[in-house]
Structure 1
Amino acid sequence: MNRFREKLRTTLERRRHFLATRQAEITLAFLGLVVGLLSGGLIISFRLGIETLQLGLLSLDAADTFEGLSTPMRFLLPLFGAVVLGVGFWLISVASRSVGIVHVLERLQYHEGHLPLRNLLVQFFGGIVALASGQSVGREGPSVHLGAGVSSLTGRYLSLPNNSIRTLVACGSAAAIAASFNTPLAGVIFAMEVIVMEYTIAGFTPVILAAVVATAMSRAVFGEETAFIVPTVGSASLSDLFYITVMGVAIGAASAAFVGLIRHLRRISLNWSLLLVMPLAGLAVGGLGIFIPEVLGTGYDSVNLAVSGQLGMTLMALILLAKFVASAICVSGRIPGGLIGPTIVMGCMAGGLFAQFVSQLPAVTADPVLYTVLGMGAMMSAALQAPLAALLALLEMTASPALIMPAMLAVVSANMAAKSLFGQRSVFLQMLQDSGMVYRSDPVSLGLRRIGVTAVMNRRVVSCDAEITAKYARQLLSQEPQWIVIRQSGDKDLLMPGSNLAAYLESESLPETIQLREVPGQRQEVVAVDSRATLYEARRLLDEYKVDAVYVRRPAGAGSYRILGVLQHQDIQASYSLR
Structure 2
Amino acid sequence: MLSDSLYALRKRLAVPYTSIQLSILGLLGGIVAACLIVLFRLSIEFVQFSFSPSGAFGDISPYLIPSLPILAAVLIVVVADFTGFRHYRLGIPFVLHRVKAHYGNMPLGNAINQFIGGILALSSGFSVGREGPSVHIGASGSSWLGHWLRLPHNAVRTLTSCGIAAGISASFNTPLAAVIFVMEVVLREYKIHIFIPVMLASSAGSIITQAVFGPQVEFAYMSVFNLPINHYPFLILLGMTLGASAFIFNTNLMRMMRTFRHVSMFPRLLIAGIITALFGYFVPEALGDGTSAINQAMLSPTDTQLIIILLFSKLILTWVALGLGIPGGIIGPVFGLGLLLGLCIANIVMIFDPSLHFMSTYGVLGMAGLMASCLHAPLAALVAVVELTGSSEAITPAIIVIVSSYITSAQVLKNRSIFLQQLEYQQLAFQTPPVIDVLSKTGVLAEMKTNINLIEYRTEQDVRFHLKQAKDEEIVIVSIKHDLGTDYSLAETEPTFTGDVSKIKYTPLQTLNTRSTMAHVYEILEEQRDGAALITSISGEKVVGIVLWEQLHSILMKRNALA
Give, in whole Å, the separation in 2 of the partners of 1:40 and 1:291. 36
AA aligned opposite 2:547: V
- Is the Cα–Cα contact under 8 Å of residues 255 and 383 in structure 1 kept in the other structure? yes
Q: Which residue of 1 aligns with 2:15?
A: 21
C-alpha distance 496-441 of structure 1, shift in aligned 2 (>3 A): closer
Q: Shift of residue 87 of structure 1?
A: 3.0
- Is the Cα–Cα contact under 8 Å of residues 248 and 414 in structure 1 kept in the other structure? yes
State whether structure 2 residue 32 is matched by structure 1 residue 38.
Answer: yes
Give, in whole Å, the separation in 1 of the partners of 2:32 and 2:337. 32
The match for 1:560 among 533, 541, 544 is 541
Give, in whole Å, the separation in 1 of the partners of 2:161 and 2:213. 24
Q: Which residue of 2 aligns with 1:541?
A: 524
Taking structure 1 as the reference length, what is the TM-score of the superposition?
0.89
Q: Shift of residue 364 of structure 1?
A: 8.6
Q: Shift of residue 128 of structure 1?
A: 0.8
AA aligned opposite 2:46: T
The match for 1:62 among 54, 65, 73 is 54
Cα deviation, 1:523-573, whole Å, max 9, x if unaligned, reads: 545433332222333333333x5443441423364x634241213142342
Cα deviation, 1:488-538, whole Å, max 9, x if unaligned, reads: 6789967546454xx79xx998xxxxxxxxx72555454333322223333
C-alpha distance 538-361 of structure 1, shift in aligned 2 (>3 A): farther
The match for 1:573 among 553, 556, 559 is 556
State whether structure 2 residue 89 is matched by structure 1 residue 108.
Answer: no
C-alpha distance 466-324 of structure 1, shift in aligned 2 (>3 A): farther
Q: Which residue of 2 aligns with 1:514?
A: none
Q: Which residue of 2 aligns with 1:512?
A: none
Q: Shift of residue 196 of structure 1?
A: 1.6
Q: Which residue of 2 aligns with 1:304?
A: 295
C-alpha distance 467-391 of structure 1, shift in aligned 2 (>3 A): farther
Taking structure 2 as the reference length, what is the TM-score of the superposition?
0.91
Q: Which residue of 2 aligns with 1:314?
A: 305
- For 1:18-417, list aligned pairs within 5 A: 18-56=12-50, 58=51, 60-63=52-55, 65-307=56-298, 309-310=300-301, 312-361=303-352, 367-417=358-408
- Is the Cα–Cα contact under 8 Å of residues 183 and 393 in structure 1 kept in the other structure? yes
Q: Shift of residue 427 of structure 1?
A: 1.1
Cα deviation, 1:415-437, whole Å, max 9, x if unaligned, reads: 22221122222211110111223
- Matched residue SS, 2:431: coil
- Matched residue SS, 2:535: strand
AA aligned opposite 1:27: Q
Indicate the larger mover: 195-204 or 354-363.
354-363
Indicate the larger mover: 113-122 or 563-572.
563-572
Indicate the larger mover: 481-490 or 397-406.
481-490
AA aligned opposite 1:536: A
Q: Shift of residue 9 of structure 1?
A: 1.6
Give, in whole Å, the separation in 2 of the partners of 1:408 and 1:55. 38
Give, in whole Å, the separation in 2 of the partners of 1:217 and 1:34. 12
Give, in whole Å, the separation in 1 of the partners of 2:528 and 2:19. 35
- Is the Cα–Cα contact under 8 Å of residues 25 and 205 in structure 1 kept in the other structure? no
Indicate the larger mover: 563-572 or 312-321.
563-572
C-alpha distance 367-268 of structure 1, shift in aligned 2 (>3 A): same
Q: Which runs of 5+ in 1 are unaligned?
A: 510-518
C-alpha distance 359-485 of structure 1, shift in aligned 2 (>3 A): farther
Q: Shift of residue 464 of structure 1?
A: 4.5
- Matched residue SS, 1:276: helix
Give, in whole Å, the separation in 2 of the partners of 1:487 and 1:296. 65
Indicate the larger mover: 366-375 or 275-284.
366-375
State whether structure 2 residue 503 is matched by structure 1 residue 520.
Answer: yes
**Aligned-residue CA RMSD in angstroms?**
2.7
- Is the Cα–Cα contact under 8 Å of residues 285 and 296 in structure 2 kept in the other structure? no
C-alpha distance 508-261 of structure 1, shift in aligned 2 (>3 A): closer
- Is the Cα–Cα contact under 8 Å of residues 18 and 194 in structure 2 kept in the other structure? no
- Matched residue SS, 2:190: coil
Indicate the larger mover: 303-312 or 219-228.
303-312
- Matched residue SS, 2:393: helix
